[in-house]
Amino acid sequence: MFQEEAQPADESASRYEAARRVVGPVFAALDLGTNNCRMLVGTPSGDGFRVLDSFSRIVRLGEGLHQTGALSVTAMERTLAALHTCAARLQRRPVRRLRAIATEACRRAANGRAFLAQVKAETGLDIGVITAREEAELALESCAPLLRGKEHRALLFDIGGGSTELAWVRLTEGRPALIGYDSLPIGVVTLAERWGSAGFCADGFVTMVDDVVARLAPFESIHCIAREVRAGGVTLLGTSGTVTTLAGIALGLPRYRRLLVDGAVLAAADANAALANLRSLGRQGLIAHPCVGPERVDFVLPGCAVFAAIMRLWPAPQVIVADRGLREGMLLRMIRGERRHRSARAPGHRSSP
């Protein structure tokens, strides 16, 4: 995904006015990752939800975690500032239910739980650390509507800041079921810190890809995915800023447009051409590129290295691009839970024996 920031004040105000006219219940989901803090507020609409407000900011919570094993003071301060903004925006409307989660950085950091306790004390936000399995399940929940092809298997991957999640999925009449999952400690932040400037040169990038391939190999050895890819029965689906950025470049978009990217199907050749385009720019070119910019320059090529490793190990002819993830998965779960609760309380409802 191209760089996201908090909504401008005038857009926030218009969304606030729209939210005041909302009749149905309002739900909110907050995802505190290694690199980003994201929030989504929505109300049920059809089989999904209508977005009332959204927020995303690069906070780099996991900065230095690979070296020290702990969250740094500076990173925690940046993240707290973003979370204060989220808390303030949530106070603007009556929220039926909020779910707030933290992922790899807070799972790994020695002071992760202590930081979340500080967050609760200062902002009132009660953020829980989720397991790698639930992270995979939430991503699958949000992306399931995109898995409507004839293939009988899907490999979903999410290239995050501190980890890359893999979900190996069985598809039965379009209904996904998780077969296996893994959370690998390789994300755009961890790779950027490990490889530094070496990732910007040709040899360093290739070596970085080789390293990621080696880390993916155990998952392949368990599930034999490459064999099924060669047989033509696997859908490859990517949900991450890396994949949506590659899609935007492959589609030739002058600026990011979610409606054109989410659900787009990229031919492998087009995705690889977009990746080669990014690699050719060099550091200064990436800084100047509207799809990257100075805040993401250190993380784009590490993400591309993970993508290249996945495509090398599992060379599917195309990849489905998803601009959706944990926030959407949480909202869908809360909305479905609300509907089940209301159905159970409806007159004439009979509980199963």
Q: Which residue has the tokens 């399931």?
A: 144
Q: Count the residues in the chain.
A: 353
pLDDT at 293: 84
Do residues 147 and 169 make contact, with C-beta atoms less than 8 angstroms apart?
yes
Separation in Å, CA 175 to CA 68, 139, 146, 171, 334 = 42, 14, 11, 5, 19
pLDDT at 6: 36
Supply 201's token pair: 């040169």
Parts of the chain with a pLDDT under 50? 1-16, 19, 351-353
Provide the pLDDT for residue 266.
96
The two beta strands, 27-32 and 97-102, are parallel
The CATH number of 133-326, from 3.30.70.2190, 3.30.750.24, 3.30.420.150, 3.30.429.10, is 3.30.420.150
Q: Partners of 45 in the beta sheet?
A: 48
Report the C-alpha gap between 290 and 307 in whole angstroms. Answer: 21
Give the pLDDT score at 292: 84
Q: In whole angstroms, what is the distance from residue 2 CA to residue 258 CA?
A: 10
Beta-strand runs (E) in the chain? 27-32, 36-45, 48-58, 97-102, 127-129, 153-159, 164-172, 175-184, 234-238, 265-267, 318-321
| Res 11: pLDDT | 43
How far, in Å, CA of 124 to CA of 102, rounded? 15
For the chain, the domains span 9-130, 133-326
pLDDT at res. 346:
64
CATH topology of domain 9-130: Nucleotidyltransferase; domain 5 (3.30.420)
What CA–CA distance (Å, rounded) separates 240 from 36?
11
- Please state, in angstroms and rounded to a whole number, the distance separating the CA atoms of residues 153 and 170: 5
Q: What is the pLDDT of residue 10?
A: 42
Confidence at residue 34, expressed as pLDDT on a 0 to 100 scale: 93
Give the strand order in the sheet containing 127-129. Answer: 48-58, 36-45, 27-32, 97-102, 127-129
Instruction: Answer whether 9-130 and 133-326 agree in fold.
Output: yes
pLDDT of residue 338: 85
